[in-house]
């Protein structure tokens, strides 16, 4: 596609609900990253995929967070039993190779947990 | 945890003036990148400087890197109101396994 696409753009969840956030990277991009961004802060790394392999998930804050990229293209970030502290913007980025090249970001999903 | 730290946290200037933002980091890096983020949008890549480079230019942007001081600066010359955004530095370590953003500098360019 022309750019990284994320959906939904906005998501409101009641505390305890499960949510799924989708990322459609640029076609052919091998690497895919998820970041969490709190208001007024820089993006915090969550997890990284190379094709379908999840090579680093050290940034996931708890076992309620789960990410997958089963066919090496579209990725889903799932948050189970959402808490208020999960409220943030979730950014997805892709690159043609890996960390040593520039990242292309989507517009993000703004998650609000009430 | 965030490795890069931008300075200042916020900067307000008049149109036409130059804006300088600084980034300091802690560990050895492979490269350092600067990104821009408009309110409510994703980040957009501006420029990448590798550890063996000292200076790079792109249009009105000038980036320097001092690996001995573990610092970088981003200079925007002849600023425009449209440059109003948050600017982030991101470092990539020598193993290419860690891509860390700083907290950002919020730039306001007043017309």
Q: Assess contact for B16 and B110: CB atoms under 8 A.
A: no
pLDDT tens digits along B30-45: 899 999 999 988 999 9
**Residue B12 to chain A, least CA–CA distance (Å):** 16
What residues of B are in contact with residue A101 (Cβ under 8 Å)? Answer: 48
Q: Assess contact for B56 and B74: CB atoms under 8 A.
A: no
Helix (H, G, I), strand (E, B) or coil at B94: coil
Triad B99, A94, B101: Cα angle to 5°: 25
pLDDT tens digits along A66-105: 999 999 999 999 999 999 999 999 999 999 876 678 899 9
State the pLDDT confidence band at B93, using cuts at 50, 70 and 90: confident
Rounded-to-10 torsion of CA A5, A6, A7, A13 = -170
Q: A90 and chain B: CB distance < 8 Å anywhere?
A: no
Of B31, B40, B43, the CB nearest to A100: B31
Region of poorest pLDDT, from A6-10, A14-18, A52-56, A98-102 = A98-102
Q: B72 and chain A: CB distance < 8 Å anywhere?
A: no
């Amino acid at each position: 596609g022309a750019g990284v696409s994320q959906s939904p753009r906005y998501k409101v969840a009641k505390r305890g609900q499960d949510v799924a956030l989708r990322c459609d990277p640029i076609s052919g991009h091998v690497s895919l990253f998820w970041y969490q961004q709190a208001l007024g802060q820089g993006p915090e790394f969550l997890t990284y995929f190379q094709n379908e392999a999840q090579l680093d998930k050290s940034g996931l804050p708890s076992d309620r967070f789960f990410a997958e990229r089963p066919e090496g293209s579209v990725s889903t970030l799932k948050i189970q039993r959402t808490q208020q502290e999960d409220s943030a913007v979730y950014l997805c980025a892709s690159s043609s190779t890996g960390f040593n090249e520039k990242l292309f970001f989507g517009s993000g999903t703004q998650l609000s947990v009430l | 945890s965030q490795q890069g730290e931008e300075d200042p946290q916020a900067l307000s200037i008049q149109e036409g003036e130059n804006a300088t933002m600084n980034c300091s980091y802690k560990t050895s890096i492979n490269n350092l990148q600067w990104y821009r983020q408009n309110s409510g949008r994703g980040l957009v890549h501006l420029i990448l400087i590798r550890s063996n480079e000292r200076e790079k230019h792109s249009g009105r942007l000038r980036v320097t890197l001092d690996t001995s001081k573990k610092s970088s600066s981003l200079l925007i010359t002849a600023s425009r109101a449209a440059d109003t955004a948050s600017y982030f530095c991101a470092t990539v370590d020598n193993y290419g396994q860690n891509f860390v953003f700083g907290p950002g500098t919020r730039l306001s360019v007043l017309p």
